[in-house]
Structure 1
Amino acid sequence: MGTRLPMSGATLKYYLSEHPAIVNFRWSHHLWGSTWSFLAAAVPAYVAAASVLHLLLLLLLPRHLRRRPVPLGPLPALHSLAVAAASAVVFAGMLLSASAEIRDTRWLWRRSRTTPIQWLLCFPLGTRPSGRVFFWSYAFYLSRFLHLLRTFLTVLRRRRLTFFQLFNQSILLCMSFLWLEFSQSFQVLAILSTTLLYAVVYGYRFWTAIGLPGARFPFVANCQVILLCYNLLCHFGVLLLHFWKGGCNGIGAWVFNSVLNGAILYLVLKFYVKVQLKYRKVGAVAEDEDGSTGAAAAAAAQQAGSSGSETKVTRKKDH
């Protein structure tokens, strides 16, 4: 047993950071989903498919069945488990790959007086999308398509399709594409924090989906607000390093990313306040079943609101 553990650790490290396919990875338009035309077709197709499904359920089902969820069996739980597992693998791979990149290029950074934290926030100008960390950035981009399925599960189970769900999922897909296309700075820390959050949140959703007790507070909403605030602080760090170090790679894509993150943060905080207010009144908040980052706060507010109205109706009947 004592000799197997180091060997298994070395094997895991090899397949997550030292495999030739990872070390020699290069982002190119020959990869699946790597062209602008693919992205321009994928996002409208996702929005159209989700909207059509929502409309079909409203038009084809009788009125008394429109509010009833479609029985999906274990599909939501399996989806949560798949997303949690994929996120954990990407997190571990990115963490080991970033450590390997820092180890291999530390000698070069001494000349420019660059520290590892500076590299994590600000890629040097001329950085190309190749190597270990960009392999896992591509894996993260592919995992975004797995997240899109959550929208369809939400429509089938809850008969709810909001603009924020579609907007948030589409924007996150576009941003992960831009990270690769422009070798954007800060993506290593962004992927690490996001995949860690997804592993925890979707693990929690799997936990509750199989019937185990959930938290007595809006767990998903709290996690996502913490993530967005953390990203906001890191964006300030990128901005400071950009002017201090003479430029960060992919700064144009970073500006676009920052604007979208700011919009998402505003919407999340707006709904998060509603969640907390409803939580204090009702005493419990239903966690969101949507997979989009930030949408949990909005959905939780709606769920808490509906719970509150049901409570009032029950009290009137009792009186």
Structure 2
Amino acid sequence: MTLTQKTLIYYLSEHPKIVNFRWSHTHSWGSTWSFLFTSIFAYLLLSLLLHLILHLLGRRRPVPLGPIPALHSLSMALISLTIFTGILVSAAAEIRDTRWFWRRTNTTPFQWFLCFPLGTRPSGRVFFWSYIFYLTRFLNTLRTFFAVLRRRNLSFFRLFNHSILITMSFLWLEFSQSFQVTGILLTTSVYSVVYGYRFWTAIGLRSACFPFVNSCQMVLLGCNVICHVGVLLLHFKKGGCNGIGAWGINSVLDAAVLMLFLNFYVSSYLRGRRKTLAFSPDHRGDDVAATVETDRIGCCESKDKDI
């Protein structure tokens, strides 16, 4: 192992602040229920106020934001990649250090990724990265304000999805919830790709010829469903997974997001078919009016549902 690799591993999993991390209402910023509810309320209120102010001012042109959205996408891609690497290295270290305890509970490393043993406390390496993931959910909400300023579009799905992501990441820490390691690995891997793609297109480089962002969202939601089934099976097989009550709330919220996304996906597909018919030789004179929030995907347009 080279010196660079050792240094990287140290700062990702062996630094004292990472190893000794403990989720605490008194020492961890943003760790109280009052903060959670207040921050989500403030996010919803500010989003609605900004949308209302622009509407009252009658501003129809997008507010120029310059390179800010591109820089935000780049920073989110790098942060997501860092969290993915950090929690992966930390999970390997936790498996190495606690394997002796798992023998008593008949737990394998694969099972641990989905089902924490009963009595697991929110402390140590993986919970440090879970905490960082929780904090970055607030940075992710900036896309809502970008969308309002650029297109005056404020969708229910965007507000709901961002609020749910903040709530779920809080529950992961508060109840040492099972599934969170896998959930963070899946989410950050998709985020790093999606935000990297958004930065790529924001600086004017060639985009894909299919709904790239929406396809990534579908992959993420599908993987979440499979993992939730795995958690449920392990819960009954092993006699219990830690934080199963919070996991139940998590699975319901994920199901709600999935239903909203599928509804959007089907409606977008039907709208696309109507547009195809409208511009066919038999419908040259027809006009198709649509006001959509679009994400340029090369040779086509697609609504960009935030993830």
Normalized against structure 2, the TM-score is what?
A: 0.89
* Residue type of the alignment partner of 1:55: L
Q: Please give the residue correspondences for 1:111-190 in structure 2 after superposition, counting only pairs within 5 Å.
A: 111-190=104-183
Question: Any idea what SS the aligned residue of 1:32 has?
Answer: coil
Contact 2:118 2:241 in 1 (8 A): yes
Q: Paired residues, what number? A: 283
Question: Any idea what SS the aligned residue of 1:285 has?
Answer: strand
Give the CA deviation at 1:265: 0.5
Per-residue CA deviation, residues 236-264 of structure 1 (Å, 9 max, x unaligned), is 11001111111111011000000010011
Give the CA deviation at 1:278: 4.5
For 1:8, which of 1, 4, 10 is the aligned residue?
4
Q: Find out whether 1:32 has 2:21 as its counterpart.
A: no
For residues 219 and 144 of structure 1, do their structure 2 counterparts lie closer, same or farther at Cα, with a shift above 3 Å needed? same
Give the CA deviation at 1:38: 0.6
Per-residue CA deviation, residues 280-305 of structure 1 (Å, 9 max, x unaligned), is 655612452x6x32xxxxxxxxxxxx
For 1:90, which of 78, 83, 92 is the aligned residue?
83
Q: CA RMSD in A?
A: 1.4
Cα distance in 1 between the residues matched to 2:235 and 2:213: 33
Give unpaired runs (5+ residues) of structure 2.
Answer: 277-298
Q: Find out whether 1:60 has 2:57 as its counterpart.
A: yes
- The farther-off stretch of 136-145 and 262-271 is 262-271
Q: Please give the residue correspondences for 1:282-301 in structure 2 after superposition, counting only pairs within 5 Å.
A: 284-286=300-302, 288=304, 292-293=306-307
Contact 2:105 2:117 in 1 (8 A): no
Give the CA deviation at 1:269: 1.4
Question: Any idea what SS the aligned residue of 2:138 has?
Answer: helix
Cα distance in 1 between the residues matched to 2:36 and 2:104: 39
Cα distance in 1 between the residues matched to 2:100 and 2:242: 20
Give the CA deviation at 1:273: 2.4
Q: Percent identity?
A: 67
Give the CA deviation at 1:6: 1.2
Contact 1:275 1:285 in 2 (8 A): no
Cα distance in 2 between the residues matched to 1:103 and 1:279: 51
Per-residue CA deviation, residues 194-236 of structure 1 (Å, 9 max, x unaligned), is 0000000000000000000110000000011011010001001
Question: Any idea what SS the aligned residue of 1:212 has?
Answer: coil
* Residue type of the alignment partner of 2:231: V
Cα distance in 2 between the residues matched to 1:276 and 1:14: 48
Alignment partner, residue 233 of structure 1: 226
Cα distance in 2 between the residues matched to 1:21 and 1:188: 19
Q: Find out whether 1:18 has 2:37 as its counterpart.
A: no
Contact 2:22 2:128 in 1 (8 A): yes
Per-residue CA deviation, residues 52-89 of structure 1 (Å, 9 max, x unaligned), is 0000000013xxx42x2111100110010011111011
* Residue type of the alignment partner of 1:162: S
Cα distance in 2 between the residues matched to 1:233 and 1:178: 20
Give the CA deviation at 1:23: 0.4
Per-residue CA deviation, residues 142-201 of structure 1 (Å, 9 max, x unaligned), is 000110111000100111001111111011101100100000000000000000000000
Contact 2:131 2:173 in 1 (8 A): yes
Question: Any idea what SS the aligned residue of 2:184 has?
Answer: helix
Cα distance in 1 between the residues matched to 2:108 and 2:196: 34
For 2:38, which of 38, 41, 59 is the aligned residue?
41
Cα distance in 1 between the residues matched to 2:257 and 2:28: 29
